[in-house]
Amino acid sequence: KTGWHHTANGYVYFKDGKPLSGRNYVLLPSIDGNGSNWYLVDNGVPQWGVQSWAGTYYYFDQDTYLRVDNDYVQSQWGDWYLFGNDGRILTGVQKWAGSYYYFDPVTYLKVTNDYRQSQWGS
């Protein structure tokens, strides 16, 4: 069997009767059956929330498992992070919702009530 299968623990993608092995960002048939989409899967299980991949962090929607771009979202552990138009987590001064905000390059969290140096040196 090849394709998505819903188990008691959620979705798993099987190829030739076995779950995909390893952690990969792969183009697969859509879970909803309409076309195809890119999914971050770990041993066939689609990942959601903030996930480490390819040297940075991305956010994947909990319901669709699809990467979220251009959004300020709450992680699975409750903190808020800003993700850019390519899905990567953002740091430094960023324009969001009509204002500018600073995101710490270590924690990725928005900094408030503090004076910080921007990525441009100001």
Task: Check residue 58 and give its pLDDT.
Answer: 98
pLDDT average, residue stretch 14-30 = 96
Q: Which amino acid is at 57?
A: Y
Q: Which of 68, 61, 72, 115 is closest to 94 using CA atoms? A: 72
Each residue of 34-77: pLDDT tens digit?
A: 999 999 999 999 999 999 999 999 999 999 999 999 999 999 99
Query: 67 and 86 in contact (C-beta within 8 Å)?
Result: no
> What is the DSSP secondary structure assignment for residue 87, as one 8-state letter?
S
CA separation for the pair 108, 73 (Å, rounded): 12
Strand partners of residue 24: 41
